[in-house]
Structure 1
Amino acid sequence: MMKRRLAREKAFQTLFQMITTDLNQQAAMDYVLEEEENDPFLIQLVEGVTTHQKELDEWVAEHLENWSLERLPKVEKTVLRIAVFELKYEEDTPTQVAINEAVELAKTFGDEASGKFVNGVLSKMNE
């Protein structure tokens, strides 16, 4: 079983593949994992975000200032979807952990500004 941080990274990469290519969920996951073992938490994140994407996007959109969901860069949009899924549906993930992990993902795959942006949106959601 992979560590949750790695599972989140792989989930991000899978979901990012799905919105930037025409790969379906299984093909995107296979591409990201290569020969690695699949992980239950990874599958839970990818399937959860995919299943609840409309609601997740609505929650994100309600907390954006001076941004529309359509204009959000794909990195930030994908990270926010994962984080909001964890906040809303993963009761065993503490709020602060979900936010910190999202900020780290944003910094890893985006830039410093991505981390600050994601932190701002998620902090506002938890006020």
Structure 2
Amino acid sequence: MINRRQVRETVLKAIYALQLGNDSTQHVADTIIKKAEFAKKKELRRFAEKLFFKTVEHEEELDEVISKHIKNWDIHRLALIDRLVLKMAICEFIYFEEIPTKVSINEAIEIAKRYSTAKSGRFINGILDAALTDLNESGRINKKGRGLIQQSLGN
């Protein structure tokens, strides 16, 4: 059975291909996301496309959030996979009000462990925790829906 982690992994591959190739965003979406094994499942395909396009569309903003939390380090020196995983998770924080932030963090950690280095999980966790605190304090996180009640109460 296909789950959202596999969808996120496909989106990571699509963003990676976009970064390294010379193809258009739409071409990458058409060849990687729309041809993925989950593509026939409308809800999963929509999630994948939204995550892909939102992450690409808001790249500068997401890089700024990451840069703010990698002390004394240039964002372009980060491992590309780590940077892309961070962008996707922060995109979920800001633009996917139905996904709990804990889910985004856990998924990012697991994907980083699988596709990046042994230390990536802890690194990703640290950056995302700091970014989440900052985004919450600046009022940029707006979560709604089931399982999100604790955030709306200010916890």
Specify if TM > 0.5: yes
Question: Aligned equivalents of 1:119 and 1:107: distance in 2?
Answer: 11
1:28 alignment partner in structure 2: 28
The 3 A distance-change label for structure 1 pair 35 and 58 is: closer
Structure 1 residues 62 and 24, CA gap change in structure 2 (3 angstroms): same
% of aligned pairs identical? 33
Measure, in 1, the Cα distance between the counterparts of 2:21 and 2:120.
22
Q: Which 5+ residue runs of structure 1 have no aligned equivalent?
A: none
| Separation (CA, whole Å) in 1 of partners of 2:132 and 2:86 | 13
Cα distance in 2, alignment partners of residues 35 and 126 from structure 1? 30
Q: Render the CA deviation track for 1:68-112: whole Å, top value 9, x for unaligned.
A: 111111101100110000011111111111000001111111022
Alignment of 1:1-127 (within 5 A): 2-33=2-33, 34=35, 36=37, 37=39, 39-127=45-133
Question: Normalising to structure 1: TM-score of the pair?
Answer: 0.90
Q: Which runs of 4+ in 1 moved over 3 A?
A: 33-36
* TM-superposed deviation, 1:35: 5.7
Aligned length: 127
* Superposed displacement of residue 114, structure 1: 1.3
Task: State the Cα deviation string for residues 48-82 of structure 1 (Å, max 9, x = none).
Answer: 00111111111111111231111111101100110
SS across alignment from 2:99: coil
> What TM-score comes out, normalization by structure 2 length?
0.75
CA distance in 2, matches of 1:74, 1:35: 22
**Would the aligned equivalents of 2:93 and 2:132 in 1 still touch at CA under 8 Å?**
no
* TM-aligned CA deviation for residue 47 of structure 1: 0.5
CA–CA separation in structure 2 for the residues paired with 1:11 and 1:28 = 10
Q: Distance in 2 between matches of 1:113 and 1:15?
A: 22
